[in-house]
Chain A
Amino acid sequence: MWKLLAITLVGCGLAGCGVMPVERPQATLVCHNANCAGATEPTADNTLAALDASLALQYRGRPAIDGMEVDTLWDRSRSTCIFAHHFGQLAGPPALGMDAAERVATHLLQSGPVSWSGDRFFIKIELKAEVLIDGTSHSDEEVGHHLACVFDMADRIIAAARQNSIALELGFDSEKVSLLRAITKHARWPGKEPFEDVSLRLIANVASQGLEPTDLPSLQGDSTSEGVDVLAFHATRIPTKVVDDYAALGATLMLWMQDAAPETLDAMRTYEPRYVVTNEATLFRRWGEQ
């Protein structure tokens, strides 16, 4: 009896039965608010220092992240496009959106790997919808200025990627779908596949107002359609059925968070999003390995 049990246990150990390791879903790891080199610290979000540290973050001897998120605001009081998350965050003169683009371009021009995958990089440029601290929205003229700014940023980053033969995916992101529609109607919009190894994408949120049935083909991966391509969601902020429905429709999903919670990791397994946007890049690298 004991001999049989011992043989069974040893056999199980050799055969790998018992607790089988479960392969964890892999996603494009994007640095939330250009600030993912340490613990979540919102006051450092969208600052050049945090952006530099995040681009330089290493894990197992190579860049820890696959991509970067930079936020832009059209600042009515300064008539310029700034690199910031919201106006209440600003303690001093903010950096410009173009400053952030220049840092990313410099990163893409370096020799050696520029991301965890080596020669592929994802950049997400978010257009915030307010132009003043009280939440005032863009005028039509300001929409034009803001779009010109993000196209300048995109051009600089695309040029650097092409110069160094980096495959680039660049997403314009806004919770205000009308801003995304304005991008594709802009004279400088080059289409979603402007060059070999350069893809442009549009990113909204599952709760965004203004999504339409015509967005479904692009959400399902049809890059010839001009609709929204990716929907971001948060694991704990709203009930789950909206995300369930988009997942059932085959929409491309992006999980974002501030602090990773058990629900966040559960959402990784449940929805297997293509992108994960986090302030805790190293944590997610380790989680993906286990």
Chain B
Amino acid sequence: MALMATCVALTSFVDVACAESPERAYFAGLLVRTDRSTQLTRFSGGIKTGRVALNVVLDPLGYNRAGQQSDTDAFVEVDIVRNWALIGGWRVVATPVLGSLYWQHRAFTGISAPLPSLMWGRVRMRVAGEVSMPLVKHGDDLPTMTVMDSNEIGWSLFLRAEVTGGF
């Protein structure tokens, strides 16, 4: 009996059916990644209408850590099939270099996919892979560099856990 109760609780907690999201939804939570191309944890959020989601990612740790970079993203997700989506976005990276900020603009693209949601569907989980490349770097008293000057194409995996609801 106890085992059955545990199973019922777990299947409620982890929504393995990946419930249909409402037509219009908001979401906000954490974005985590295992590589060091950004801070390990950032805040993500956005809205979804129909098949299109608009997302922003903010970086409070990066904004507040002396001597470290910060990364701010804006990206679009377009559902293709069964909640799998194409990603296209823009990342602004600010790095403290020689006493001023080096601003780097990166374009990125990738694919995201749904994972089983948590907390009875209130927390959606998504995993994604991205490829990013720098387009331009500039800063006061620092040389401007374009994609032709650097070889910093990167790829990463990241996970989002976001509270979601309809509106």
Chain A: residues with CB nearer than 8 A to chain B? 205-213, 215-216, 236, 238-242, 244-246, 248-249, 263
Q: Which residue of B lies closest to A237 (CB)?
A: B36
Which 5 residue pairs spanning A and B have beta carbons closest together? A207-B67, A213-B141, A241-B69, A212-B99, A241-B95
Q: Which residue of A lies closest to B150 (CB)?
A: A248
- Whether A245 contacts B137 in the complex (CB less than 8 A), given A213-B98, A213-B99, A239-B37, comes out as yes
Interchain CB contact (< 8 A) of A239 among B38, B142, B143, B145: B38
16 contacts between A and B (CB under 8 A): A207-B66, A212-B98, A213-B99, A213-B100, A236-B36, A239-B39, A239-B62, A239-B68, A241-B69, A241-B95, A242-B95, A245-B95, A245-B102, A245-B104, A248-B150, A263-B36
Give the A-B pair count, Cβ closer than 8 A.
69
A263 to B67, alpha carbons, bound, how many Å?
A: 20
B60 CB–A CB distance under 8 Å: no
Q: Which residue of A lies closest to B106 (CB)?
A: A241
Query: Is A238 within 8 A of B99, CB to CB?
Result: no
Q: How far is the CB of B36 from chain A (nearest CB, A)?
A: 5
Interchain CB contact (< 8 A) of B69 among A209, A211, A242: A242
A205 to B38, alpha carbons, bound, how many Å?
A: 19
Residues of B in contact with A, size category: 20 to 34
Residues facing A in B7-24 (CB within 8 A) are: none
A35 to B141, alpha carbons, bound, how many Å?
A: 40
Q: Which residue of B lies closest to A240 (CB)?
A: B36
Contacts of B95 in A (CB 8 A): 241-242, 244-245
A241 to B97, alpha carbons, bound, how many Å?
A: 10
Query: Is B145 within 8 A of A216, CB to CB?
Result: no
Q: How far is the CB of B25 from chain A (nearest CB, A)?
A: 31
